[in-house]
Amino acid sequence: MIASFEAIVNSPYALLVIGLALLVLGGETLVRNSSGLAIRANIPPLIVGLTVVAIGTSSPELFASMQAAWSGSVGIAVGNVVGSNIANLGLALGLTALVRPLKIDKQLLKMDWPILMVVTLLFVSLSLDGVYSRLDGVIFLSGMTFYMVVQVMRSRKMKSKMEKESLEENSEPDSPGGEELNQYAKRNYGLLMLWIVIGCILLYYGAGLFVEGASEMAHRFGISEHIIGVTVVAFGTSVPEIVASVTAALKGQSDLGIGNIIGSNIMNILLVLGASSVIVDISVDPNMIAGDFWWMLGTTALLYPILKIGKKISRLHGAIYLTCYAIYIWQALV
């Protein structure tokens, strides 16, 4: 009986399920407590979504890709980033818009989408030599540092504007988070930091189990690590983005929801791939450059006319993104 139990626990399916559960729990713990920490500092919701929540929901990708790089599963490391970025837009944004149309902040079109597009083009251009080297990793991480500095400066400017407007209206400045997140903001800094550390620990062990299960499944069924990375691993590590964005939309926090998705895609490239390629040179599958990268560029570019034309991301836009994601998964598996 003990042998049977060990066989079940050590099966790739069990490793995937247990690892995914820990990733979701760790990501949720990290996002909520990190957001509470940011709300205590009265940071605007769009900035919270683009930075704090984006880093939190990108943590599963970070830990999963770094674990894959350490273990030599480079196909999973790159596939996870590409597949997650496609899933974040096609699945997370699609589902979020279907649940509740998202209001568009003008800053998304003026600043955030252009940054995402430039970062995505950088990601593709650095892959053309067939490898993400340690130098490429340094370039990505330098871009990450610059991005965070810009967001901090932007946050201060937006915060100053909010305070000025609230003084003119003789009212208290609006809290950037929903009621549930504001409950976390009431915790003291020590408790928030403790839960953030716990979230990171859960993510670390969850990523290890998840990548191990995905690698075993790929070897057992003769499926390439690239396919496993862009489908199973990418979907699993995108669950926190889906949960965070849908929850934010239901609570009327459109800025937090869409900011999380765009910010997560930026973090996936600059932070996740940057940290992974600094660990070890990561070779790129030519099939990924010829196929998956174009899907990532396409889903990113599609966001521009949506942001440009309307005042919100409608349910129709959500349905279009979900259709794109379904077609992408179908062609990846066929």
Residues 244-302: tens digit of each pLDDT: 777 777 767 767 678 878 888 998 899 889 988 998 888 888 888 888 899 999 999 99
Query: DSSP for 249-312?
Result: HHTT-HHHHHHHHHHHHHHIIIIIIHHHHHHS-EE--HHIIIIIHHHHHHHHHHHHHHHHH-SE
Sequence ranges of the domains in the chain: 13-333
pTM of the model: 0.77
Query: Are the C-beta atoms of residues 301 and 124 closer than 8 Å to each other?
Result: no
Which 8-state DSSP code applies to residue 130? S
More confident residue, 34 or 323: 323
User: Which tokens in the block code for residue 31?
Assistant: 């996002």
- pLDDT above 70 (res 9): no
Q: Mean pLDDT over residues 47-70, rounded?
A: 74
- Residue pLDDT, tens place only, 151-171: 878 777 766 665 555 555 555
User: Which tokens in the block code for residue 277?
Assistant: 């390629």
CA–CA separation, 69 and 46 (whole Å): 32
- Residue pLDDT, tens place only, 84-101: 899 999 988 998 888 888
CATH topology of domain 13-333: A middle domain of Talin 1 (1.20.1420)
Q: Mean pLDDT over residues 47-67, rounded?
A: 73
Task: State the residue for tokens 């540092």.
Answer: 145
